Amino acid sequence: MVQRRTQVAIVGAGPAGLLLGALLARHDVDAVIVEQRSAEYVLGRIRAGVLEQTTVDLLREAGVADRCLKEGLTHDGIELSFDGALHRIDFRALTGKHVTVYGQTEVTHDLMQLRAGANLITDYEAEDVQIEGFDGEHPMVRYVKNGVVQELACDFVAGCDGYHGICRASIPRDAVSIYEKVYPFGWLGVLADVPPVRHELIYANHERGFALCSQRSKTRSRYYVQCSLDDQVDQWSDEAFWDELRRRLPAEIAQAVTTGPSIEKSIAPLRSFVAEPMRFGRLFLAGDAAHIVPPTGAKGLNLAATDVGYLAQGLAEHYLGRSRAGLDQYSARCLSRVWKAERFSWWFTSLMHRFPDAGAFGSRLQQAELSYLVGSRSASSALAENYVGLPI
């Protein structure tokens, strides 16, 4: 058995865990990350692509924003497609803000490099991870690495282990309230080394279902189509995907789509989920471990970043002996933002997707709401303000 001690044990090396580790290092707080997968597996997961300014600011604070600032694409708006036409929502004009298109994979890569360069410990491929003692004074993370039991004693545990992780599940059931909504469809996503069809993202409402034209760079595109929850990825050939995508876009955009072989193809279910509170004793939940939003509003990674921004601040103040207020207010501060993002993500998802039981009335209402949205400055501003992100 190997026994070690750290100040903060972080479970999960996704963006939440890695960013928390980087921010704590800036404040000279010692942390060890325990991750069940390999580094290659974590880097291979293709997910988010849109960063709010607040997230970029946190990356800067963590000392890891250089490549994002250099290679990230500044987007001043998005386009909504419905009734065969495109309508632009101008973030810059409506809010004075923009978003940055820079892949979660790149954020993860940059954070991993930073950790490796600073000799900060991340224990990958940890098996049978368990947390104990977080309801008292002496928490511990126990796991098995290369067949050897590891005991990591700590002051606090940060549960950054995503929706399927063990941290939330380790809290007594009667101490958490769960709020959940599962949507009756999924997103089929394709990544391909082809130039994006437009320089900004297109969110399309179409009678065959939602479609999203996103991107990672000037030469790499990320596209999604709404699909059935019964669909299997291997049923979707690249050709079938490109055909379906083009059917859901206005004719002139469909013609302009450059197709090519997919380098990744996956199906994601859509869910809204919140666990309250986000703290139990010396365990703090952050990111997808505490909440999930459907991806339409591009909020998941950004929420994870603001959670760990608050947590790093609270822990730093605690270790400086200044105050416990940041830790005591952590859950309430996060949840106030989380519910705003839940509302927006639910609303935008409901507006843009085909729901099996909506009927003709539901479709006409969506059309009416979309027309109102693009025709009203205050409605467009509300969309823009929520999309670019609320100030911290």
Contact positions vs ligand DHB (CB under 6 A): 48-50, 201, 214, 222, 295-296, 298
233 vs 316, beta carbon nearer ligand DHB: 233
14 vs 209, beta carbon nearer ligand FAD: 14
Kindly state the smallest distance separating residue 302's Cβ from ligand FAD, in Å: 4
Cα–Cα distance list, 290 to 158, 339, 384 (Å): 11, 12, 25
User: Binding string, 138-167, against ligand FAD, x = CB under 6 A?
Assistant: ----------------------xxx-xxx-
Report the SS3 class of residue 83.
coil
Backbone angles phi, psi at 136, to 5 degrees: -120, -150
15 binds, among ligand FAD, ligand DHB, none (CB under 5 to 8 A by kind): ligand FAD
CA gap 225, 189 in Å, rounded: 7
Kindly state the smallest distance separating residue 13's Cβ from ligand FAD, in Å: 5
Kindly state the smallest distance separating residue 387's Cβ from ligand DHB, in Å: 9
- Applying CB under 6 A, which of residues 23, 24, 59, 129 lies at the interface with ligand FAD? 129
Using the rule CB under 6 A, is 392 a contact of ligand FAD?
no
Kindly state the smallest distance separating residue 217's Cβ from ligand DHB, in Å: 11
278 vs 293, beta carbon nearer ligand DHB: 293
Instruction: Give the CB-nearest residue to ligand DHB.
Output: 49
- Expressed in percent and rounded to 5, the helix, strand and coil fractions of the chain are 40, 30, 30
167 vs 201, beta carbon nearer ligand DHB: 201
How is residue 218 annotated by DSSP? S
Kindly state the smallest distance separating residue 329's Cβ from ligand FAD, in Å: 20
Cα angle 271, 366, 47 (rounded to 5 degrees) comes to 35
Kindly state the smallest distance separating residue 254's Cβ from ligand DHB, in Å: 19
189 vs 314, beta carbon nearer ligand DHB: 189
11 vs 194, beta carbon nearer ligand FAD: 11
Q: Which residues contact 9 (CB under 8 A, 6 or more apart)?
A: 31, 32, 34, 131, 139, 141, 152, 154, 156, 157, 158
Give the footprint of ligand FAD on residues 172-231 (CB under 6 A).
187, 189
CA gap 192, 222 in Å, rounded: 7
Structure tokens given for 242:
């490109």
CA gap 26, 20 in Å, rounded: 10
Q: Is the preceding peptide bond at 261 cis, omega within 30 degrees of 0?
A: no
Backbone region of residue 30 per phi and psi (left: phi > 0; alpha: psi in -120 to 50; beta: other values): beta
* Bridge partners of residue 11, in order along the sequence: 34, 159
Backbone angles phi, psi at 230, to 5 degrees: -85, -10
Cα angle 332, 336, 340 (rounded to 5 degrees) comes to 160
Using the rule CB under 6 A, is 353 a contact of ligand FAD?
no
296 vs 366, beta carbon nearer ligand DHB: 296
Using the rule CB under 6 A, is 36 a contact of ligand FAD?
yes
Give the footprint of ligand FAD on residues 253-312 (CB under 6 A).
268, 287-288, 295, 298-302, 304
296 binds, among ligand DHB, ligand FAD, none (CB under 5 to 8 A by kind): ligand DHB
Kindly state the smallest distance separating residue 185's Cβ from ligand DHB, in Å: 14
CA gap 1, 72 in Å, rounded: 44
Catalytic positions: 75, 203, 295, 299, 387
- Which residue ranges make up the site for ligand FAD (CB under 6 A)? 11-17, 34-37, 42, 47-50, 104, 126, 129, 160-162, 164-166, 187, 189, 268, 287-288, 295, 298-302, 304
